[in-house]
């Protein structure tokens, strides 16, 4: 009898209370560069470790590029000031990516769609 009453109570509650539905997200979770940079920094730090991340920040800065439906977050080397041309051949500095990860984050839901390593 008791089980029947529990069943009846649950049945009545399920009819009275609205059923929760999963709603589709109708906006981007990473709408702008600043938000993508904060999320990307946190993910990079977790991915490579806090000490390695702090060491890398001394040589590079977190950079964000916008692609079609993703943000690309990576550490770009800090460049020394460009020397003033003195005539003749100019010295060109080609930066390297420090061998650190490059994250592709979905604008819509913030998920990591790709991880690749930059050139060292």
Give pLDDT tens digits for 97-114. Answer: 567 888 999 999 889 999
The CATH T-level fold of domain 27-79+93-120 is Nuclear Transport Factor 2; Chain: A, (3.10.450)
Kindly report, residue by residue over 4-52, the tens digit of the pLDDT.
776 667 666 666 665 555 566 678 889 999 999 999 999 999 989 999 9
Tell me which residue of 116, 46, 32, 118 sits closest to 75, measured CA to CA.
Answer: 118
Say how many C-beta atoms besides its own lie within 10 A of residue 99's C-beta.
11
d(CA 6, CA 65): 57
Kindly report, residue by residue over 53-106, the tens digit of the pLDDT.
999 899 888 999 999 899 999 888 887 776 666 666 666 665 555 678 889 999
pTM score: 0.66
Domain ranges (residues) in the chain: 27-79+93-120
Question: Residue 10 has which token pair?
Answer: 């649950």
pLDDT score, position 117 = 83
**Biggest CA pair distance of the chain:** 99
């Amino acid at each position: 009898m008791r089980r029947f009453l529990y069943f009846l109570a649950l049945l009545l509650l399920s009819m009275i209370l609205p059923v929760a539905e999963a709603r589709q997200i109708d906006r981007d979770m990473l709408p702008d560069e600043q938000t993508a940079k904060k999320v990307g920094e946190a993910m990079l730090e977790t991915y490579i470790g806090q000490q390695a991340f702090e060491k890398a920040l001394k040589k590079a800065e977190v950079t964000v590029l916008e692609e079609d439906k993703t943000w690309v977050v990576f550490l770009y080397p800090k460049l020394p000031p460009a020397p003033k041309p003195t005539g003749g051949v100019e010295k060109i500095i080609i930066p390297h990516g420090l061998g650190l990860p490059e994250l592709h984050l979905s604008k819509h839901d913030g998920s990591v769609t790709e991880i690749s390593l930059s050139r060292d």
